[in-house]
Amino acid sequence: MAPELPPKRYPEMKGKIALVTGGSTGIGLATAQAFAREGAIVIIASRNEKRAKQALTTLADDGRGSWAQCDVTDGRDVERLISSILKEHGQIDYAFNNAGSGGKMSPIASMSEDAWGKTINGYLTSVFLCMRYQLPAMLKTGRGVIVNNSSVDGLRGYPLVGGAAYAAAKHGVLGLTRSAALEHAKDGVRITAICPGWIGTPPVKNFITKNEEIGTQIIGQEPIGRLGTPVEVANGVLWLCSEAASFMLGSPLVLDGGYMA
């Protein structure tokens, strides 16, 4: 059985400022809930206000939550987001760069430039833009943790036809993460990434429901015999942000049910 949200375990997070992009659903929502449970002040950044407000109602009373509208592929939007957080809270302690979107999946030989561009912008450039404005804020205080959401697809080729652009973007996230981590290794800001396997988020569940054959293939790729849960990924993100992971720098945490083993 997959674990539920664990008891509080990181007292140092109480009152800290945690930004979760794409925090209205799936992995992002589970992570926002986990931060709130530890007593953090959580900012969910997303595009859909209705969904975000529903998400805020699920946060634990121990923490506080708010929503900020932001398209993470738009540098001006990201700059405004970070400026507003600093104006209200004065700092950012944790950032989980989770939001992502892409173009239509298709084989490389027939992929449109538009689909390629949307996927690279949605999953890679968005992470760069977030880091571009999060880092100066953290460097002013000399502390902070950034966790970027990559994927096992950032470690190997996409296993189904049509995912080349997504895999390329996720490989790029790891290259960006490692390079940034080395740039700031001695600055008090830790930068790392998480690489989930197949996780039971709403899009993945919908994808499996629509195509039973592909669903069987996906489950078959997981030695553990099931999809991961958003809570399991959130547990990993919080550990990476915690003082328990103080020596974790640049290298990704792989949570994949044995997929890459």
For residues 131-147, one letter each, b for 16 or more C-beta atoms within 10 angstroms of the residue's C-beta and e for the rest, the string is bebbbebbeeeeebbbb
Q: How far is residue 49's CA from residue 59's CA, in Å, rounded to a whole number? A: 16
Which H or E element spans position 94? strand 94-97
Q: How far is residue 92's CA from residue 248's CA, in Å, rounded to a whole number? A: 19
Query: For residue 161, how many other CB atoms are within 10 A of its CB?
Result: 10
Q: How far is residue 10's CA from residue 238's CA, in Å, rounded to a whole number? A: 8
Q: Do residues 133 and 110 lie in contact, with contact meaning Cβ atoms separated by under 8 Å?
A: no
Q: 151 to each of 77, 81, 197, how far by Cα in Å?
A: 25, 25, 6
185 closest CA partner among 96, 94, 249, 139: 249
Query: For residue 6, how many other CB atoms are within 10 A of its CB?
Result: 12
Q: Do residues 80 and 129 lie in contact, with contact meaning Cβ atoms separated by under 8 Å?
A: no
Query: What residues act catalytically?
Result: 166
Q: Do residues 97 and 127 lie in contact, with contact meaning Cβ atoms separated by under 8 Å?
A: yes
